[in-house]
Amino acid sequence: MIEINDAHKSFGATQVIPGLTLSIATGQTHILLGSSGCGKTTLLRMIAGLTSPDQGEVTIGNKLVSSLSKREISDMIGYVIQEGGLLPHLNGIDNVLLPVKIRGLDIAKATERLEAFAAAIDLTIPQLKRFPHEISGGQRQRVALLRGLILDQPIILLDEPLSALDPVVRMNLQRHLKSIFKK
């Protein structure tokens, strides 16, 4: 369960989040809608522990996010940032498997998961063997999504995961994400 209690966040004189209270129960999927600059990314960053509220608190499972280590947070949360955050010197497969390697987890098992998810979101292994600059923006976004899903954390935060995708791929990906999140 994610609890946001009277969270406020400002950048200089600009108040981005003016006292938000929200509860998200385990197993629920929520979509944040709002105009550009209204605080959607800031809220996701607060949940992920990347920025702190100026006032109020964010808890996950009754633990203050501000009291958790980066490792504890990353064990609970997969976060796909708006721009994807792929490392340019790694091909798609290595970008996706990087969190697995950092944690010393089973690469073979993660590779099976990668292959299953890649097929579900219309990415081929030859495409995943390319570097970020060698694939389209939509393909980069899907590689970033794979990296966000690879560790199977209980919480997945997606910041505009469909924005660079063409309509057909977007519709297919929405269908596959629903299936993934039900599991």
pLDDT (0 to 100) of residue 111: 94
Domain co-membership, 111 together with 51:
no
Domain co-membership, 63 together with 91:
no
- DSSP strand pairing (77-80 vs 155-158): parallel
User: How high is the mean pLDDT of the chain?
Assistant: 88
pLDDT (0 to 100) of residue 138: 82
pLDDT (0 to 100) of residue 15: 92
Domain co-membership, 15 together with 83:
no
Q: What is the CATH number of the domain that holds 42?
A: 3.40.50.300
Domain co-membership, 107 together with 157:
yes
In a domain, 22, yes or no: yes
Domain co-membership, 4 together with 61:
yes
pLDDT (0 to 100) of residue 181: 66
Rounded to whole angstroms, the Cα distance separating 96 from 147 reads 4
CB 125 within 8 A of CB 132: no
pLDDT (0 to 100) of residue 183: 60
Rounded to whole angstroms, the Cα distance separating 158 from 137 reads 16
In a domain, 19, yes or no: yes
In a domain, 154, yes or no: yes
pLDDT (0 to 100) of residue 26: 85
pLDDT (0 to 100) of residue 180: 67
Q: Model confidence over 98-134: pLDDT tens digits? A: 999 999 999 999 999 999 888 878 889 999 999 999 9
The candidate with the shortest Cα–Cα distance to 7, out of 66, 61, 85, is 66
Domain co-membership, 90 together with 29:
no
Domain co-membership, 109 together with 172:
yes
Domains in the chain, number: 2
Domain co-membership, 87 together with 168:
yes
CB 49 within 8 A of CB 68: yes
Low-confidence ranges of the chain (pLDDT < 50): none
Residues 6 or more apart whose CB falls under 8 angstroms from that of 156 comprise: 77, 78, 79, 80, 148, 149, 181
The whole domain housing 157 covers 79-183
In the sheet where 55-60 sits, what is the strand order? 14-24, 2-11, 55-60, 63-64
